């Protein structure tokens, strides 16, 4: 079976993990975590970056740092992973669902319609690494005095107007989960683009302590100073991530090559940057399409259940929006295999099967 995703395996992973075993002090000093953060800060020029235990934890830490009044509204796409909704709710906030555009990203017109006097933040996701309409969304946020949390979980291989995704929010979040093309086994990153939140975030990810200041020699001891949790990335995960970052350019080129072949040879529009998907005709029987792919030895699947349709998410009804495009995506989107290391002949076979199924 050709998988949907496949974690990349690199020789440096074993080398760095072995190094960690023989240098247990790295778990205290954060040797590999520091290397990853330096690399990421070079990509996000002028931003402060911390690697953390997951993108879920990055989102939770972001909303902790914003420290918005309880009950404040956060406009976000219902078309998103559950972590986004959970992060807002755990911070005592109310998710407000906005619709998406034809790329799977927040629709600015829908955002405008759902903003109220109680709206305090905007969560922007870049679906599959496709950049959202950031100029328009940032203008809306500025005009309405909203903080922006950027969910760039899939964004490491994409730019918007020559700036990396993750550069635009007051605080941004990236995923290094094993389902992503470049991974830490499980992990994420917090990118702080506004200096007002550097100090709060640093404390939040260290269990609400000023431990980082203590380790820099700025304090004779450290203590509990704010809300927080143990959000920093473990060194074993950081070692795996550091291995992957050595191959960032190669991985990116390979993803672009596969996506280019999908679009050039299939005759269908295949969307995505760090993941691949096709939108099926509305009349297509998607469960049958998925079954046909699986019978051909290819794992393809749908993606999110929209949050507003979920058991818990339905507690926050979309009063003013029909979420038409969100519902359409939920019913018609089909994910295709995309990962570094997929073989040339496997891509050819996927394209062959895709053409056969969609033309039948």
CATH code of the domain covering residue 278: 3.90.1150.10
| Within-domain flag for 263 | yes
pLDDT digits (tens, 9 = 90+) for 232-243: 999 999 999 999
Per DSSP, the three-state class of 325 is helix
Last residue of a domain, one of 210, 245, 280: 245
On whether both 268 and 218 belong to a single domain, the answer is no
- Write out the residue range of the structural domain in which residue 223 sits: 11-245
DSSP state of 212: H
| Within-domain flag for 2 | no
pLDDT digits (tens, 9 = 90+) for 20-67: 999 999 998 899 999 999 999 999 999 999 999 999 999 999 999 999
Vertex 169, ends 168 and 175: CA angle to 5°? 95
Last residue of a domain, one of 183, 210, 245: 245
Please check whether residue 219 is in contact with residue 213, taking contact to mean a CB–CB distance below 8 angstroms: yes
Per DSSP, the three-state class of 305 is coil
Last residue of a domain, one of 218, 245, 272: 245
For residue 333, what are the β-bridge partners?
279
% residues pLDDT > 90 (the chain): 96
Rounded Cα distance between 308 and 98, Å, is 10
Which alpha helices (H) appear in 148-247, and where do they start and end? 198-204, 211-215, 235-245
Tokens of 219: 């304090």
CA dihedral 59, 60, 65, 66 (to 10 degrees): 70
| Within-domain flag for 68 | yes
Counting the structural domains of the chain, the total is: 2
Q: What is the phi/psi pair of residue 202, to 5°?
A: -55, -40
On whether both 191 and 330 belong to a single domain, the answer is no
On whether both 240 and 256 belong to a single domain, the answer is no
pLDDT digits (tens, 9 = 90+) for 176-193: 999 999 999 999 999 999
Q: State the average pLDDT over residues 212-229.
A: 93
Q: How far is CA 158 from the centre of its chain?
A: 12
Q: What is the phi/psi pair of residue 296, to 5°?
A: -85, 0
Rounded Cα distance between 98 and 339, Å, is 30
Report the relative pairing of strands 276-279 and 333-336 from DSSP bridges: antiparallel
Per DSSP, the three-state class of 94 is strand
Report the relative pairing of strands 119-125 and 147-151 from DSSP bridges: parallel
Collect all residues with Cβ–Cβ distance below 8 Å to 306 and sequence separation of at least 6: 78, 79, 313, 323, 326, 327, 329, 330
- How far is residue 191 from each of residues 45, 76, 242, measured CA to CA in Å? 11, 19, 17
Reported as a pLDDT band with limits 50, 70 and 90, residue 275 is: very high
Tokens of 101: 């555009």
pTM score over 0.85:
yes
pLDDT digits (tens, 9 = 90+) for 132-168: 999 999 999 999 999 999 999 999 999 999 999 999 9
On whether both 120 and 159 belong to a single domain, the answer is yes
Rounded Cα distance between 323 and 314, Å, is 13
Residues constituting the chain: 360
On whether both 218 and 313 belong to a single domain, the answer is no
pLDDT at 319 over 80: no
Collect all residues with Cβ–Cβ distance below 8 Å to 102 and sequence separation of at least 6: 325
| Within-domain flag for 274 | yes
pLDDT at 70 over 80: yes
């Amino acid at each position: 079976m050709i998988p949907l995703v496949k974690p990349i395996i690199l020789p440096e992973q074993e080398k760095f993990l072995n190094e960690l075993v023989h240098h247990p002090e790295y778990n205290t000093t954060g040797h590999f975590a520091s290397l990853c953060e330096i690399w990421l800060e070079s990509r996000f020029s002028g931003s402060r970056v911390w690697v953390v235990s997951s993108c879920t934890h990055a989102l939770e830490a972001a909303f902790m740092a914003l420290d918005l009044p309880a009950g404040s509204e956060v406009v976000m796409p219902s078309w998103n992973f559950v972590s986004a909704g959970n992060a807002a709710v755990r911070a005592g906030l109310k998710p407000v669902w906005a619709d998406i555009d034809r790329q799977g990203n927040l629709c600015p017109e829908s955002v405008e319609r759902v903003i109220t006097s109680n709206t305090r933040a905007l969560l922007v996701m870049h679906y599959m690494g496709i950049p959202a309409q950031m100029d328009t969304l940032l203008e809306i946020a500025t005009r309405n005095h909203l903080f922006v949390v950027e969910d760039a979980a899939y964004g490491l291989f994409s730019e918007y107007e020559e700036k990396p995704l993750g550069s635009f929010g007051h605080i941004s979040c990236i995923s290094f989960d094993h389902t992503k093309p470049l991974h830490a086994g499980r992990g994420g990153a917090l990118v702080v683009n506004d200096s007002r939140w550097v100090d709060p975030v640093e404390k939040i990810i260290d269990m609400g302590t000023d431990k980082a200041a203590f380790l820099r020699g700025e304090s004779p001891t450290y203590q509990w100073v704010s809300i927080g949790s143990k959000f920093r990335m473990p060194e074993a995960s950081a070692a795996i991530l550091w291995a992957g970052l050595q191959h960032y350019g190669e991985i990116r080129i390979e993803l672009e090559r596969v996506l280019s072949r999908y679009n050039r040879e299939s005759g269908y529009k295949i969307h995505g940057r760090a993941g691949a998907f096709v939108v099926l005709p509305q009349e297509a029987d998607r469960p049958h399409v998925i079954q046909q792919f699986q019978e051909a030895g290819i794992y393809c699947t749908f993606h999110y259940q929209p949050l507003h349709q979920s058991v818990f998410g339905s507690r926050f009804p979309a009063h003013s929006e029909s979420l038409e495009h969100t519902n359409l995506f939920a019913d018609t989107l089909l994910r295709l295999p995309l990962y570094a290391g997929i073989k040339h002949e496997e891509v050819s076979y996927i394209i062959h099967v895709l053409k056969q199924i969609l033309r039948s």
